[in-house]
Structure 1
């Protein structure tokens, strides 16, 4: 039983073994149905406003973005592709990329409201936002040093730069302090 839990499995007397929500999300499987409106994943056509963006970014603690709502809106609307997750009219997730469409695709943001995390929405957003860029040689992202986040991205086919090839690939970043 312990090994099943390590794999993200739980025991159910009625149905046998089912994947726990986290395991389903990591494997890209749809979430188990729960009551309430379905989550719709769709490419943004500019149908997002600064108030709902700010609320989502605040909900996940990304306050560096929300200190400048106009800058946040400019960043999102200036992205190459933005995909939204909505429950009814409520914005519960967002993914956006910046790309030249040929050699590099940068997954800039992936956010899922804390109430909806570990349900498969994040994986669905990543797949939807990257889908038109499957031919692009490099897909890059920066993220927190959290083991669960690492597992999530590994399950989607990403590897840390030190794990690529013979380990000689490095990444650099320059982050300006908030103004």
Structure 2
């Protein structure tokens, strides 16, 4: 079972490799400046290899937001994403967040409900 690490600050190369495999697309940017402003981020490591990741962004107050939950395709269906989300939830609460938000595609509804998220109404504007 992979080891979870809190705030591991993975290299741009590590995140790019995971992102490309998990999302079947090149990483959109260097995450280094993003992670420095995050409430937390959690990495799942199999040995020294980053195999899972989730970022917890926040508003500087009581709201935190799960972003970029990713698991390498070779490591899926082992509970890694669930462990990442639960650890991110624990750390966000420990660091003062009172609300944890997540947006997801419809096919992930069951996963996020199993992680404790409740459905809500929200609004969205596409800016680009």
Q: Common fold, TM-score beyond 0.5?
A: yes
Q: Which residue of the partner structure matches residue 103 of structure 2?
A: 142
CA distance in structure 1 between the partners assigned to 2:78 and 2:27 by the alignment: 25
Q: How big is the shift at 1:96? A: 1.1
Q: Which 5+ residue runs of structure 1 have no aligned equivalent? A: 1-37, 162-169
Of 48, 54, 57, which residue of structure 1 is paired with 2:16?
Answer: 54
Other-structure match for 1:42: 5
Structure 2 residue runs without a partner (length 5+): none
Equivalent runs, 1:57-72 vs 2, <5 Å = 57-61=19-23, 63=25, 66-68=27-29, 70=30, 72=31
Q: CA RMSD in A?
A: 2.1
Query: Aligned pairs, how many?
Result: 126
Report which of the two structures shows the higher radius of gyration computed on alpha carbons.
Answer: 1
Q: Specify the SS of the correspondent of 1:60.
A: helix
Superposition TM-score, scaled by structure 1 size:
0.62
TM-superposition CA deviations, 1:106-145 (whole Å, max 9, x none): 1122111111111111111111112133363321111112
Residue number in structure 2 paired with 1:119: 78
| Aligned equivalents of 2:90, 2:27: Cα separation in 1 | 28
Q: Aligned partners of 1:126, 1:39: CA distance in 2, in Å?
A: 14
